[in-house]
């Protein structure tokens, strides 16, 4: 119930992500999936949302299978839809595929495994120099809306507490005797995240607010005053599959073989950034809506415009762009249709930190 409710809120909150009637291009697994008309896509979305609502009223296996098939179709139609929270809810709902008398215990076990994996890898991913010395200190300055260098220094000295806290939560949730105190630590962390990303402070990425509320509720159900082992008397194959997905697969993200979205690479400052540079001469050829997604250039730079694709995704779809090259390449193709000369249209992908040696450039050619 918790996961289904939060999933529905997330989907409704990112409505444009799930339809094709938008400016941000779809990135399909197979091109044929984009041949559906906007009307058909609206219909698919409404059936998909209706299945979620129906499951909230009363669980039905056939409705759940329809929901799952439509979810797979929608993700295959646009890979940007595989957001971390979508992956998280999908893993927790996975046990509903099985038919057995232990499904309740299986769901509890899977939820514990997924949550522990989320905390652990979210912490591990933040153990990098850029997050610790640059991004977190800057985040503190944004939170306090200050340019005081003392806050910057405090951020540099305290940044390690963020990944260490997440890793400690993951480890201590495993042990029965430490769950109660760690539940309250995790509760405090999520409340802090909700406040920081709310309109009161940063007003950024609202879609993670229901996700954090859902994790608090799930923690209460599966960990609070709960002395059961992580994996109870359950469906062993499901537990093994989930353990591999959240415990082993993220390792391969560290060497670039697995996407950030399925490795719980959350706010780690490691995700790639993507920009589209268009000269002033040809700016009038593109859709005027792109004006809303421009990166503000330094005063000493002129002669063109720089579209921040992540800002574009946040503004239009209410989610960050899935930071993978194949998605950036597909976005590039949508600009190549304007027939702008290669000398006046350039695509820029940065790996953090933003330095020349971390820049990859390409043109339509």
How confident is the model over 43-73, as pLDDT tens digits?
999 999 999 999 999 888 899 999 999 999 9
Distance between CA atoms of 69 and 48, rounded to whole angstroms?
A: 9
The residue with greater pLDDT, 285 or 228, is 285
Distance between CA atoms of 106 and 239, rounded to whole angstroms?
A: 8
Q: What percent of the chain has pLDDT over 90?
A: 61
Answer yes or no: is pLDDT of 288 > 80.
Answer: yes
> Which pLDDT belongs to residue 108?
87
Domain-wise residue ranges, the chain: 2-81, 103-262, 273-362
How do residues 127-142 score in pLDDT, each as one tens digit? 998 889 888 888 888 8
Question: Which residue, among 284, 276, 295, 292, has the nearest Cα to 335 in the 3D structure?
Answer: 276
> Which pLDDT belongs to residue 129?
87
Instruction: Give me the mean pLDDT over the 287-301 stretch.
Output: 78
Say how many CA atoms lie within 13 Å of 309 toward its Cβ: 27
Answer yes or no: is pLDDT of 102 > 70.
Answer: no
Answer yes or no: is pLDDT of 98 > 80.
Answer: no
> Which pLDDT belongs to residue 48?
96
Instruction: Give me the mean pLDDT over the 256-264 stretch.
Output: 91
> Which pLDDT belongs to residue 299?
56
> Which pLDDT belongs to residue 237?
81
Instruction: Give me the mean pLDDT over the 295-308 stretch.
Output: 74
Do residues 16 and 38 touch, judged by C-beta distance below 8 A?
A: no
How do residues 173-195 score in pLDDT, each as one tens digit? 999 889 999 999 999 999 999 99
Across 21-35, 99-113, 168-182, least confident range: 99-113
Question: Which residue, among 100, 108, 98, 107, has the nearest Cα to 229 in the 3D structure?
Answer: 108
Q: How confident is the model at residue 100 (pLDDT cuts 50, 70, 90)?
A: low
Across 178-182, 197-201, 254-258, 316-320, least confident range: 197-201
Mean pLDDT computed over every residue of the chain: 89
Across 145-149, 156-160, 310-314, least confident range: 145-149
Q: How confident is the model at residue 347 (pLDDT cuts 50, 70, 90)?
A: very high
Whether cis (ω within 30° of 0) applies to the bond prior to 326 is: no
Answer yes or no: is pLDDT of 78 > 70.
Answer: yes
> Which pLDDT belongs to residue 14?
94
Give the tokens for residue 187. Answer: 């509760």
> Which pLDDT belongs to residue 226?
80
Q: Give the pTM.
A: 0.91
Distance between CA atoms of 342 and 365, rounded to whole angstroms?
A: 7
């Amino acid at each position: 119930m918790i996961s289904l409710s939060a999933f529905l809120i997330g989907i409704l909150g990112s409505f444009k992500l799930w339809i094709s009637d938008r400016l941000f291009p779809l990135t399909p697994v197979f091109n044929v999936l984009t041949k559906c008309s906007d009307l058909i896509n609206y219909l698919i979305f409404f059936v998909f949302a209706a299945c979620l609502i129906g499951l909230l009223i009363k669980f039905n296996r056939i409705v759940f299978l329809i929901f799952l098939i439509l979810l797979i179709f929608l993700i295959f139609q646009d890979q940007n839809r595989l957001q971390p929270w979508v992956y998280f809810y999908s893993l927790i709902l996975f046990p509903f595929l099985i038919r057995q008398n232990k499904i309740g215990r299986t769901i509890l076990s899977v939820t514990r495994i997924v949550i522990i994996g989320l905390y652990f890898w979210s912490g591990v991913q933040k153990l990098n120099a850029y997050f610790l010395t640059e991004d977190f200190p800057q985040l503190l300055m944004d939170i306090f809306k200050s340019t005081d260098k003392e806050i910057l220094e405090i951020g540099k000295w305290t940044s390690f507490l963020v990944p260490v806290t997440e890793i400690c939560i993951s480890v201590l949730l495993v042990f029965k005797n430490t769950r109660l105190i760690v539940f309250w630590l995790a509760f405090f962390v999520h409340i802090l995240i909700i406040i920081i990303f709310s309109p009161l402070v940063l007003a950024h990425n609202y879609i993670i607010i229901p996700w954090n509320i859902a994790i608090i509720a799930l923690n209460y159900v599966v960990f609070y005053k709960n002395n059961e082992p992580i994996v109870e008397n359950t469906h062993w194959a499901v537990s093994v599959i989930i353990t591999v997905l959240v415990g082993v697969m993220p390792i391969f993200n560290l060497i670039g073989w697995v996407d950030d979205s399925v490795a719980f690479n959350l706010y780690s400052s490691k995700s790639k950034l993507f920009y589209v540079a268009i000269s002033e001469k040809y700016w009038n050829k593109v859709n005027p809506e792109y004006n809303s997604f421009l990166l503000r250039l330094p005063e000493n730079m002129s002669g063109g415009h720089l579209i921040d694709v992540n800002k574009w995704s946040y503004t239009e779809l209410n989610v960050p762009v899935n930071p993978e090259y194949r998605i950036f390449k597909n976005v590039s193709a949508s600009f190549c249709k304007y027939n702008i000369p290669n000398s006046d249209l350039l695509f820029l992908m940065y790996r953090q930190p933003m330095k020349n040696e971390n820049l990859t450039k390409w043109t339509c050619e």
